[in-house]
A and B are shown apart, each in its own frame.
Chain A
């Protein structure tokens, strides 16, 4: 069997651009081969961007590792840094990768390039979600290998030099997901001259979910109305664990009327980053997100809670219902988190 070897060290972005989708698909159909997972990216030239890199590490069998790494945006605080493309590469076994702007410090902090905060199996500050409850989302990916996300023309995310970012990576090597090789993450931020439209983000999480023995089609729906003026959705993805069967997002009007469904996913471990939407969120409106779950036969989530699966970051025994939405123009004066 032939393996498609992806260029992995130098000028990867250029090589990938040259490898057209049709060629890629044709090769796949002819050979039945899978491309090698991309975990490393060439560092952008300093004038064109910067990279956040989580070095390779082991995830022992039966473990879930969630690690929080801190980085600073290059440049001076007075300097604006505009980004219009994210390349995100993750080893197989990645459950999620979120990048946030560090805001109020509670019990989770670090210095750029310093040691990460590493937590295991649901325990430790990198698992405590209240630690980043007011940290604005930058970007995220839940897909193995490469996600190359280019923002629409005229839209970019704005940073300042020295701004502190936190990259949170979660790898699972247990029954629901496997990490067969080392864990590793690379994220390239490609810069651009200032753009007229600033990207905004929405991170929304339903914190009180409970899926119990016998449950089928258990659903949890929440709405976050946050827009003052209408905004354009450019990308979205939903996040839950292995009991999740359907993730949906809808636009909502100011009066709560539910509008267009703009996101659907039935994949819990590799949910798509959907892009190129044509939908708007109306003025005074926002997003409704809905998660539908089935309880697995013969399973037990929390033995101290009637075997139910409840809110939490540990994939094996807990559940999530989180929505990530990217839009423009950015809500002023900041991005939006909803609970």
Chain B
């Protein structure tokens, strides 16, 4: 009886997080693998990232501009933290970081991916406002995506990208380029935003 109580207590306390509808993705014991994916923030389709890929900078509700990045993975638990980092390849300085917990869903090929229908499930990788001395918009950067599951498995991926303002609204586009250019300060883009 006592052993059963201890076992129950252990099971209860050893469950560190929410239940994962997708359970485990892939083969337990196999080395985690994966690839970086991104969206444009409006179309939920997760697109594979190729080296040097242009990744759109999108406006969140309050201010700044972010990129939506994540990973498509195998051999990991579905309860993960996905983190995105943006680095200047010349200095290795980090210019953006966003991490969040999410639950992966199974894609048609059996791999695990975040649900792209909601941007909150992907890393909202920030880089703007750009307080550095180098433009974010239209320059070469390194993106790093780290996935950590609830059992401690980790996966690290990185590649070159080109963050780019690519918005159809001219006022938003002007604000994006201004906000994502070097040496930003509060009020710098005030005349360009057109009341967004």
Contact = CB atoms under 8 A, between A and B. Distances in A.
Interface of A: 103-104, 106-107, 129-130, 133-136, 205-210, 214-226, 252, 254-256, 284, 288, 310-311, 331, 333-339
Interface in B108-142: 118-121, 124, 126, 128-129, 131-132
Classify the secondary structure of A's interface with B. loop
B186 A210 contact: no
A113 B38 CA distance: 48
B129 A339 contact: yes
15 contacts: A106-B193, A129-B62, A130-B62, A134-B63, A208-B61, A215-B18, A216-B18, A219-B101, A221-B97, A222-B124, A224-B126, A338-B64, A338-B129, A339-B60, A339-B64
A252 B100 CA distance: 18
A207 B186 contact: no
Contact of A134 (B19, B126, B189): B189
Of all A-B residue pairs in the complex, the 4 with the closest CB atoms, nearest first, are A339-B64, A256-B94, A104-B190, A133-B63
B152 interface: no
B22 to A, nearest CB: 13
Given A208-B119, A217-B17, A339-B129, A225 B94 contact: yes
B97 A335 contact: no
Nearest to A311: B61
B29 interface: no
Contacts of B191: 104
Interface string B154-189: 000000000000000000000000000000011111
A255 B94 contact: yes
A254 B91 CA distance: 9
- Pick the most buried of B61, B129, B186: most chain A CB atoms within 10 A of its CB: B186
Given A104-B193, A216-B17, A217-B17, 11 more contacts: A133-B64, A206-B124, A217-B18, A217-B101, A223-B96, A223-B98, A224-B126, A252-B97, A334-B185, A337-B63, A337-B129
A208 B124 contact: yes
Contacts of A221: 83, 97-100
B120 A103 contact: no
B21 to A, nearest CB: 9
A106 B120 CA distance: 26
B81 interface: yes
Contacts of A133: 62-64
Nearest to A215: B18
B54 interface: no
A217 B17 CA distance: 7
B60 A223 contact: no
Contact of A288 (B62, B97, B118): B97
A106 B129 contact: no
A207 B61 contact: yes
A256 B85 contact: yes
B188 to A, nearest CB: 8
B190 A134 contact: yes
